[in-house]
Amino acid sequence: MEVNMMEKARQTIKWNQWPELAKTGFFVLLIIGVTLGAFGLFTIGMGTSTPLVVVTSESMSPTLERGHLLVLQKQAPVDIEVDDIIVFNALWHLEAPVVHRVTEREYIDGEYRYTTQGDNNAVPDHPYTVYEDIIGVVVSAIPYIGYITLTLQEPGVLPLVILVLIVIIILPEFIPKKDAESSKTENEETPVDNDAPNV
């Protein structure tokens, strides 16, 4: 049943008539679409628009090292407790969100205030952090994977990767054509003796 439906779909869009480059592009777009869709569902499930963050400094060493990929989850203000590791935006560090541990929690003037500090830092962060600045609480950390992102952020690396991918996608489109043209040329150069006797 599924095979018949797939074959019918292929016939409807005239799949066999598509050039190889168009087929490759279609699959690339399909993979991108599925990935973005899955990531969208993941963000909804974790309750934050930024559920994945890469550690970019040594301020949380040895608990979290540079290159760790962090999985974040949004939690209610009252559920964020002392010793939780949170990711938050800070005016004193605009380059990227900060990943530090909560060392103190206070409820003052109707809001929770969180004092944070890096495990590898000698002094706490100043000033305190409020709930509106918190992106999420770290629920999981995966080492080394974040180095992929850090490497792509290096100058000139991302354009090079894109160029290589384009070459990989486009190059096979021309190689078969070249072989076919060579075979056609060889066939044209080979004379056919119509007067040869049949055996």
- Select which of 100, 140, 179, 195 is catalytic: 100
Q: Which residue among 144, 168, 193 closes a domain?
A: 144
Cis geometry, peptide bond prior to residue 124 (ω within 30 degrees of 0): no
Q: Is 193 a catalytic residue?
A: no
Q: What is the pLDDT of residue 162?
A: 79
- pLDDT tens per residue across span 147-199: 888 887 778 877 887 788 777 777 766 665 555 555 555 555 555 555 545 54
Residue 194 is assigned to a structural domain of this protein: no
- Select which of 49, 57, 59, 179 is catalytic: 59
Q: Is 93 a catalytic residue?
A: no
What are the residues facing 167 on neighbouring strands?
none
What are the residues facing 102 on neighbouring strands?
116
Residues 162 and 130 placed together within one structural domain of the fold: no
Residue 189 is assigned to a structural domain of this protein: no
Q: Is 126 a catalytic residue?
A: no
Residues 56 and 111 placed together within one structural domain of the fold: yes
Residue 196 is assigned to a structural domain of this protein: no
| Single-letter code of the amino acid located at 101 | R
Between the CA atoms of 149, 153, 159 and 163, what dihedral angle is there, to the nearest 10 degrees?
A: -20
Contact call for residues 31 and 18 (beta carbons, < 8 A): no
Residue 199 is assigned to a structural domain of this protein: no
Q: What is the pLDDT of residue 199?
A: 46
